[in-house]
Amino acid sequence: MSNYIQHQQVHSAVIGQIPVPHGPETGAETETYPMGPEGLYTEEQEREIFKYITHPDDSFDDNGTYWADLPLTKRVAFVNKVNNAEALSELKATWALFKRDPLGPVSWYFRNAVLPGAGLGLEGYVLFSIGNLSPLFAAAWPECWGKTATVCSANWIAAVTYLEVIGIMIGQVSVGIIGDWIGRRWGLIQDALIMFVGLIMITASWGLTLQGWVICYAWSLFFYSYGVGGEYPMTATSSMESAVGAGKLSTRDDRLHRGRKVTMAFLMQGWGQLLNQGLLIVLLLIFHHGDGDPPYSLPTVQWTFRLSFAFPAVGTLWLVYYRTYKMPNASRQLQIAKKRGNVTGYDVGSLNTIFKHFGGRILATSGTWFCNDVFFYGNKLFQSQFIAVISDNPHSVMVTWVWNICNCIVSLAGYYLACFLIDHKLYGRKMMMQVGFLMCFVFFVVPAFHYKYYTSANGVHAFQAMYFLSSFFNQFGPNSVTFLVAGEVFPTPVRATAHGLSACIGKSGALLASVLYNYIDTQTKFYVVPWFGLAGMVLTFVFLPDTTGLDLKEQERRWSYIKDGRDSEYHGIAVHPTHLSLWERICGSGKYYNPELDSKAKIADMRADWEARESLKREAEVTGSKEAEELAAHDDAGLSDDAHRFFMHTSPNSPFMQSLNGPNGTKANGVLEDMVLPPGGNEKEGAASSSS
pLDDT (tens digit, 9 = 90+) per residue, 40-84?
Answer: 457 777 888 888 888 999 999 999 999 999 999 999 999 999 999
Residue 326 identity = K
Q: Are residues 458 and 498 in the same domain?
A: yes
Average pLDDT over residues 665-688: 37
Secondary structure of the chain: what % helix, strand, coil (to 5)? 75, 0, 25
Residue 580 domain flag: no
Residue 368 domain flag: yes
Do 333 and 241 touch, CB atoms closer than 8 A? Answer: yes
Residue 561 domain flag: no
Selected residue with higher pLDDT from 656 and 60 = 60
Range in 100-104, 187-191, 389-393 with the lowest mean pLDDT: 389-393
pLDDT at 517: 80
Residue 550 domain flag: no
Q: Are residues 451 and 425 in the same domain?
A: yes
Residue 218 domain flag: yes
pLDDT at 53: 85
pLDDT (tens digit, 9 = 90+) per residue, 8-34?
Answer: 444 444 443 444 443 333 333 333 333
Q: Are residues 144 and 192 in the same domain?
A: yes
For residue 666, pLDDT beyond 70: no
Q: Which of 102, 121, 139 is the last residue of a domain?
A: 102
For residue 147, pLDDT beyond 90: no
Selected residue with higher pLDDT from 150 and 275 = 275
CATH assignment of the domain containing 301: 1.20.1250.20
Do 544 and 561 touch, CB atoms closer than 8 A? Answer: no
Q: Are residues 352 and 292 in the same domain?
A: yes
For residue 4, pLDDT beyond 70: no
pLDDT (tens digit, 9 = 90+) per residue, 480-527?
Answer: 999 999 989 998 888 999 999 999 999 999 889 888 887 888 788 888
Angle at 506 between CA 501 and CA 508, to 5 degrees: 105
Distance between CA atoms of residues 602 and 630, nearest Å: 24
Share of the chain above pLDDT 70, in %: 82
Helices 252-266, 210-243: axis angle to 10 degrees equals 170
Residue of 206, 124, 211 lying closest to 159 (CA atoms): 211
pLDDT at 98: 95
The Cβ of residue 265 has, within 10 Å, a number of other Cβ atoms equal to 27
Distance between CA atoms of residues 375 and 437, nearest Å: 9
Number of domains in the chain: 3
Question: Rounded to whole angstroms, what are the CA distances from 418 to 21, 116, 422, 480, 534?
Answer: 46, 17, 5, 7, 20
pLDDT (tens digit, 9 = 90+) per residue, 617-655?
Answer: 777 777 776 666 665 555 555 677 778 777 777 766 555
For residue 671, pLDDT beyond 60: no
pLDDT at 250: 52
Mean pLDDT score of the chain:
81
For residue 667, pLDDT beyond 50: no
Terminal Cα distance for the chain, rounded: 29
Alpha carbons within 13 A on the beta-carbon side of 373 = 24
Q: Are residues 287 and 407 in the same domain?
A: yes
For residue 150, pLDDT beyond 90: no
pLDDT at 253: 85
Distance between CA atoms of residues 447 and 185, nearest Å: 46
- Residue 328: which region, alpha, beta or left (left: phi > 0; alpha: psi -120 to 50)? alpha
pLDDT tier for residue 3 given thresholds of 50, 70 and 90: very low
* 9 burial via Cβ count (<10 Å: 0-12, 13-18, 19+): exposed
Question: Rounded to whole angstroms, what are the CA distances from 9 to 12, 48, 382, 594, 650?
Answer: 5, 20, 67, 21, 10
Range in 242-251, 297-306, 649-658, 669-678 with the lowest mean pLDDT: 669-678
For residue 36, pLDDT beyond 60: no
pLDDT (tens digit, 9 = 90+) per residue, 223-272?
Answer: 999 999 999 999 888 887 775 544 444 578 889 999 999 999 999 999 99
The Cβ of residue 577 has, within 10 Å, a number of other Cβ atoms equal to 17
Residue 29 domain flag: no
For residue 293, pLDDT beyond 70: yes
Domain hosting 628: range is 594-667+681-692
pLDDT at 677: 36
Residue of 276, 274, 238, 232 lying closest to 502 (CA atoms): 232
Average pLDDT over residues 119-137: 85
Residue 36: strand, helix, or coil:
strand
Q: Are residues 178 and 81 in the same domain?
A: no
Selected residue with higher pLDDT from 155 and 225 = 225
Q: Are residues 242 and 116 in the same domain?
A: yes
Q: Are residues 338 and 398 in the same domain?
A: yes
Number of helices and strands (H, E) in the chain? Answer: 32, 0
pLDDT at 385: 62
Do 678 and 614 touch, CB atoms closer than 8 A? Answer: no
Average pLDDT over residues 151-165: 87
Residue 585 domain flag: no
Selected residue with higher pLDDT from 28 and 147 = 147
Share of the chain above pLDDT 90, in %: 43
Phi, psi of 670 (to 5 degrees): 80, 0
For residue 426, pLDDT beyond 80: yes
Q: Are residues 127 and 75 in the same domain?
A: no
Q: Which of 38, 72, 102 is the last residue of a domain?
A: 102
Q: Are residues 82 and 115 in the same domain?
A: no
pLDDT at 629: 60
Average pLDDT over residues 529-556: 93
Residue 96 domain flag: yes
Average pLDDT over residues 661-670: 45
Rg (CA), the chain: 29
Of the spans 319-328, 368-377, 421-430, 559-568, which averages the highest pLDDT? Answer: 421-430
Q: Are residues 192 and 66 in the same domain?
A: no
Q: Are residues 487 and 439 in the same domain?
A: yes
Selected residue with higher pLDDT from 145 and 175 = 175
Phi, psi of 588 (to 5 degrees): 100, 10
User: Is 0.85 topped by the overall pTM?
Assistant: no
pLDDT tier for residue 448 given thresholds of 50, 70 and 90: confident
Do 270 and 124 touch, CB atoms closer than 8 A? Answer: yes
Residue 424 identity = H
